Structures are given as C-alpha cells and as structure tokens.
Amino acid sequence: MSALGGADVIQELEAPAPVKRRRPNRNRSRMPAWRLVIFVLAAIFFVGPLIATFKFSLLQTNGHYGFQNYGQIVTNGALRDSLFTSLEIAGITALAVVALVLPTVVLVRLRAPRLTLVLEGITILPIVIPPVVVAAGLEELSRSLPTWLVSLWFNHAITGLAPIYVVLVMPFSYRAIDTGVRAIDLRTLVDASRNLGAAWPRTMIAVILPNVETAVLGAMFLTIALCLGEVVISTILLYNTFPVELIQVGSSGAAEIPAALSLCSLLFVFLLLFALSYVGGRRRGSTSMRVI
C-alpha cells in the first residue's frame, strides 16, 4: 500500500498544473470619460462648421434648398477656367518641387552632410517672410525689369505663379522628402546601383524614388493644397486663379456659390490625403511581403 501510495504521489507531482485563464479586463476596453468628452468636443469643433457651410451652400436664390450652386463649376465659364488654371499650376509646381528637392536632399546626405543645417535654415525662410511682402517685391520687380522679360515671366498665371509657389512650399516639401530619405539606407542603395552600372538619373528614378514614394507623395499633396488655397500673391499680382475667382463671386453677392465650391475643393484635398494613406499602406505591405 505504501508503494502504491508513493506512485500516486509521484504521478500527482509530475502532472502539469492547470493553466489559469485570465479573465478579460472589461475596464480596459472602455474609453475613459474624459477622452470621450474631448473626442466629442473636437468633432463638434471640426464637423460643426462644415455642416453649417454645407447647409448654407444649398440655399438658392429662390429661398429653397438644392444643389444648383454646386453646378456652377460646370456652367460658370470663369470659375471653370480658373479651376483649370489652378490645377495646371498645382501639377507643374508639384513636379518641379520633386525634381528640385529630391536630388538636392540625396546629394547633400551623401556628399555634404554638414550642409544639412544650412539647407534647413534656407528652406525655412519662406515661412518667415510674409506672402504680402513677397507679392509687393514681385510687383516692384515687374516694374523695373525689361519689357521682354516681364512679358515672358509675368504674362501668364502659370509662368508667374509656379516659380513662386515652388519657393513657398519649400519648407514643407523639403522636410517631407528629407524624412523619407532618412528612413532608408541611402548609401547602400546608391552604392549597389552604381556598382551595377546604373547612371545617376536611373539610380534616382528606379532605385531611390520607389523607396521614398510615400514621402514624395506627401510633398506633392502639400504642394497641391497650397496652390489651391493661396490667394494673397495671386490677388496682388492680378492673376485669376480659382481662390481669387471665388472671392470675386462672393463679393458680387452670391456667397452661397463660394461656400459650395470651397467644400468641393476641401473634399478634393481630403480625397488626395486618403489616396496618399492608401498608397503608403500598400507600399508598407508589399515591402513586408518581400522581406518575408
């Protein structure tokens, strides 16, 4: 009996102890009250004016509500032409910003890293200088330049505003692209591409650009948003862009039309932001799959 009892004790000792399951803490899944209050207040602060603007934009001349004001972008020739002009300026400016900033950031990171602080200081200057001062200086410059140069530079809104917008967006675009370049192993990628016989343009387009795609798209998004919203310089220089045309339509008494079209431009910018987030998410997902 003692031997059997000893065997039973040994089996009890060797048997694994039952695993205790932790009960889920329901308090952790609940949002604290103060966070919920802050979320509701922030939603009211941001969404409330948009709802009020949308309701005001539906008001028609006969006193009824409808979507007639939103059709002005198609029926009003001046608004349509100014929108196309602003989109052309935004596209040209975005491409010019990427073509200037990306090679500059890469070369500074590889060849002259000590100039990084100098470049950051130079690119921050457009924020320090007010747009009114820039516009006043450009207006005075147009009076002192030769006639042929004035007609070549200031004769059209695209040639007159695109170079200025490239400078204005430089603080945002430079830091967006520089952040993307810092996140990759730049020297290893460049050395591998150069050792395989690729020239600098091919290295920049086929090797570096796909790895900083999200940062480049972010810089282009910021550029397009600035071009579609800038009004001070274009007004002083007498260029008929989309924001300037909205102000002129609103000053004529039809304030509902600028409200409707401003919501359309805001929706367009939000769609660009969501597209950027989607492309960035796909980019990270494809990268993780290649690593696996």
* CA–CA dist 103, 97 (Å, integer): 10
Are both 45 and 145 inside the same structural domain?
A: no
Report yes or no: 129 and 144 within 8 Å, Cβ to Cβ.
no
CA within 13 Å, CB half, 83:
16
User: How does residue 21 score in pLDDT terms, banded at 50, 70 and 90?
Assistant: low
> Any idea of the CA torsion for 68, 71, 75, 78, to the nearest 10 degrees?
110
Residue range of the domain that includes 129: 77-291
Question: Which CATH number does the domain housing residue 268 bear?
Answer: 1.10.3720.10
Q: Which residues make Cβ contacts (< 8 Å) with residue 111, sequence separation at least 6?
A: none
Same domain, 62 and 84: no
* DSSP code at position 198: -
Tell me, yes or no, whether 88 and 136 share the same domain.
yes
* Average pLDDT taken over every residue of the chain: 81
Question: Which one has a higher pLDDT value, 28 or 263?
Answer: 263
Same domain (yes/no): 151, 263 = yes
Q: 44 CB contacts (<8 Å, ≥6 apart)? A: none
Over residues 122-133, the mean pLDDT reads 87
Residue 150 pLDDT exceeds 90? no
Local structure of 190: helix, strand or coil:
helix
> Can you tell me the mean pLDDT for 238-248?
86
Question: For residue 72, is it within any domain?
Answer: no
- What is the distance between the terminal CA atoms of the chain, rounded to a whole angstrom? 60
Judge contact between 268 and 73, C-beta under 8 A.
no
pLDDT given for residue 283 in this prediction = 58
DSSP string for 90-130 = HHHHHHHHHHHHHHHHHHHHHH-GGGHHHHHHHHTHHHHS-
In the chain, the number of structural domains is 2
Q: Please give the Cα distance from 28 to 174 (Å, whole number).
A: 41
On whether both 49 and 86 belong to a single domain, the answer is no
pLDDT for residue 215 is more than 80 = yes
Is 99 a residue whose pLDDT tops 90?
yes
For residues 287 and 239, the answer to whether their CB atoms sit within 8 Å is: no
| Same-domain check for residues 94 and 56 | no
Choosing from 22, 45, 66, the residue where a domain stops is 66
Within-domain flag for 46: yes
Same domain as 221, residue 124:
yes
